Homo-oligomer: A and B are copies of this chain.
Amino acid sequence: MTSFTTDQVQAIRRSRERVAKLHGELTRYGLVVWTGGNVSERVPGTQHFVIKPSGVDYDDLTPDNMILCDLDGTVVPGSAGSENNPSSDTAAHAYVYRAMPHVGGVVHTHSTYATAWAARNEPIPCHITGMADEFGGEIPVGPFAVIGDDSIGRGIVATLEGHRSRAVLMANHGVFTIGKDARDAVKAAVMCEDVAKTTHIARQGGALVDIPEGKIDALFDRYQNVYGQKPQGGIA
């Protein structure tokens, strides 16, 4: 049986609260429909993460029905919410947490415009400065992979390792994002759909203009270091 220290119990509670609440950002920005999409967070100071249950309405998500898993994706027996199954994407989240120790949050959606690029297996090119800020260049495409083994997790990691983007379009599927915590990964999911939509619409209207050489790097460097109320530094 798994036992936790008092500090760990409190950290788990805080992650449950954050993860439950952050799912509201997915519906606010229209990134998900019905019970699709999921957010998880690595619980600081533990070898566990918290993730959404499978097939539960967004209106019914609470800290207590979030599901606590170890890094193999196994539900902690007897923990709150463990009477339900975790998200069917749990294995992919677990793979990412095992392979990328600096990642503290993972999000998956089938948001419309990102998935449209994914259906063409086409990376989103970087033609707007806000995308340079957030992703440091294009958003790449990962391999076609289906649920049932480690292939989705491996595809995410193989694509994002050594890449500045925190988002990957999985071929014919949807988008996975990573971040230093769940909120950062949710932000990446929101921004990914935003740039997927803007860039799609821009290109439908005619030829896109390139950002001048060197400026994408400059924008990314500045944004990762100075934006917001305190240095964020992305997940690098």
Contact = CB atoms under 8 A, between A and B. Distances in A.
Interface of A: 29, 33-36, 53-56, 84-85, 88, 110, 112-113, 115-122, 127-130, 144, 146-148, 171-174, 187, 190-191, 194, 197-209, 211-212, 215, 218-219, 222, 226-229
Given A187-B34, A200-B201, A202-B119, A110 B85 contact: no
B201 A203 contact: no
Among A119, A130, A218, chain B packs the most CB atoms within 10 A around the CB of A119
Nearest to A144: B212
A146 B33 contact: no
Copies in the complex: 4
A150 to B, nearest CB: 16
Q: Which 5 A-B pairs have the closest CB atoms?
A: A55-B228, A116-B202, A119-B202, A116-B201, A121-B209
Contact of A211 (B88, B112, B144): B144
B116 A129 contact: no
B205 A117 contact: yes
A229 B53 contact: yes
Contact of A146 (B118, B128, B172, B215): B215
